[in-house]
Structure 1
């Protein structure tokens, strides 16, 4: 069983509150009782597999290089993509297309729109970088490594949710909660899964606290998260943030989180001074 299928099985079992089992022999499986079989991996790597582009057979160990570097039918983009060309086709046709591509012959005014899209994306990335850089100059900064543990609701059809133990940052006590697909009753029936989180202030406060926070993966974790800074003003009447989606790079990362025993996170908090 490949790593992706193994992770998906564990994630489905977590969502259904069941013990994961092998689809072949029905033996119970978990991260604790399964290990890589290097001998089988080596044997499988020599078995033939079809290229998804040209349908030719190659040993699995060489298939990836063939698909990315050698296959004449692999999909490729026009080299003038940056100035607006949307062509995408087989590699063996790209030279002929590029010779006839109309985009190099366009005027500067015609390609401005495509360049504006690239500039906008770069501007957003730069603004995020500068925002985080400025937050690091705040006087009051704190962070904590937390574990979100899985629990079940008391409803007839239970729902999975996660909650962290209480932790202290900047002399305040906090809790983080998380839910799956916005509390959808049967998230196991869809491949489009997402986890959203909420930060709750447990301390009593007399004045409002304006807080920026940044959630990152925990130490030794391999889940891929993008940077996303959120801001919320806590007060005695507003102790819970809205739910924010984890900025996962791909949907497969959600299965990694669900398959793990706990979700390990590192949360940074930056208090805005009045």
Structure 2
């Protein structure tokens, strides 16, 4: 062997692993490609519905909408509750409502419902609050109301004949000793075990009487309301008006929001209904709880007193949710305004919905006592 050949052969790698490493480096993937493939493998750790849940969530509460979905002109999504809350806050501040993401103007005319997102969200899985199984959101309510074997039960107070009623309902359950003060609430499959261990059957007679008196008082109040309404329906002079309240501002340095109706006629006199938020709280936007109060104002001059009863109900125009409450006031020449009384709304969300609307509509029924 010549000296040149020996030199050449000695320079070649003798370890096959070293040779493999060299050939592997030549065919190695670029760094950019390795990063892309690594990212794809990380994405697979999260299910598609989880990724969609983060994309389709409300821009305000960051939760998936349960009903209607609104969007601004730039496409940012808001659930119906947050949308009305944003509009209500703007109404209270006397400002223009804006999207919380991009600050573009929004209102019930400019913001539109996104039906595609609503349909997509309705197909995403959600967990049953009773059995913890997952179902499509569009069938979850039916499952919880009718199909779930672990749904809650509710025992209503006795009827007039003394018999108790067992009513199936969601989110409410009760021990059969609830009438003597047992506060237990839970799913159906745990009820039997609880009743075996419940200590309320062994309470003293005095403790049982305290619990029964509270329930009896609630029933007395409810029966009194119905009896009062039936008695008023027997009055000779009854009239009703469909009222529309419109928003206005006070002339104070800090303008406060109030609502007022147009004049309407009843019993040959002119009347006005006025309403305010949180009893004219200085800044209602700082409160998480909101309610409305209203008063009835007599605009005509009268020479003899008028004993008037009145009640607010949902009328044919509008969809306000109110509970019946009867109020009575004696109008005189000096006293022509009733005190502010609560407009019996179910919760703050309903108050926000009314504030977000341009007007508030309801039916006012008035009963005039005969002399």
TM-score (norm 1): 0.89
Structure 2 residue 243 is matched with structure 1 residue 142: no
Q: Is the 8 A contact 1:197 1:245 kept in 2?
A: yes
2:144 and 2:176 map into 1 onto residues whose CA distance is: 19
2:120 and 2:229 map into 1 onto residues whose CA distance is: 47
Offset at residue 249 of structure 1 (A): 1.8
Alignment-derived partner of residue 38 in structure 2: none
CA RMSD of aligned residues (A): 2.5
Q: Is the 8 A contact 1:73 1:91 kept in 2?
A: yes
1:55 and 1:10 map into 2 onto residues whose CA distance is: 35
2:247 and 2:336 map into 1 onto residues whose CA distance is: 22
Offset at residue 64 of structure 1 (A): 3.9
Relative to structure 2, which stretch is displaced further, 261-270 or 46-55? 46-55
Alignment-derived partner of residue 231 in structure 1: 328
- The structure showing larger relative contact order (alpha-carbon pairs under 8 Å, at least 6 residues apart) is 1
- Please state which structure has a larger fraction of its residues in strand: 1
Offset at residue 97 of structure 1 (A): 1.2
Alignment-derived partner of residue 294 in structure 2: 197
Superposition pairs of residues 42-191 of structure 1, within 5 angstroms: 42-49=119-126, 58-64=135-141, 70=148, 76-89=173-186, 93-104=190-201, 111-191=208-288
Offset at residue 71 of structure 1 (A): 8.5
1:104 and 1:157 map into 2 onto residues whose CA distance is: 58
Offset at residue 181 of structure 1 (A): 1.0
1:218 and 1:90 map into 2 onto residues whose CA distance is: 38
2:151 and 2:359 map into 1 onto residues whose CA distance is: 43
Rg: which structure is higher? 2
Q: Is the 8 A contact 2:151 2:187 kept in 1?
A: yes
Q: Is the 8 A contact 2:242 2:317 kept in 1?
A: no
Q: Is the 8 A contact 1:223 1:256 kept in 2?
A: no
Q: Is the 8 A contact 1:182 1:196 kept in 2?
A: yes
Offset at residue 130 of structure 1 (A): 0.9
Offset at residue 29 of structure 1 (A): 1.8
Q: Is the 8 A contact 2:318 2:360 kept in 1?
A: no
Relative to structure 2, which stretch is displaced further, 99-108 or 212-221? 99-108
Question: Which of 82, 104, 109 is matched with 1:5 structurally?
Answer: 82
- For structure 2, list consecutive stretches of 5 or more residues without a partner in the other structure: 1-77, 153-170
Superposition pairs of residues 221-260 of structure 1, within 5 angstroms: 221-260=318-357
Relative to structure 2, which stretch is displaced further, 21-30 or 258-267? 21-30
- For structure 1, list consecutive stretches of 5 or more residues without a partner in the other structure: none
Offset at residue 58 of structure 1 (A): 4.9
TM-score (norm 2): 0.67
1:14 is paired with a residue of what secondary structure?
helix
- Count of aligned pairs: 274
Question: Which of 1, 17, 20 is matched with 2:97 structurally?
Answer: 20
1:52 and 1:18 map into 2 onto residues whose CA distance is: 39
1:21 and 1:50 map into 2 onto residues whose CA distance is: 33
Q: Is the 8 A contact 2:319 2:361 kept in 1?
A: no
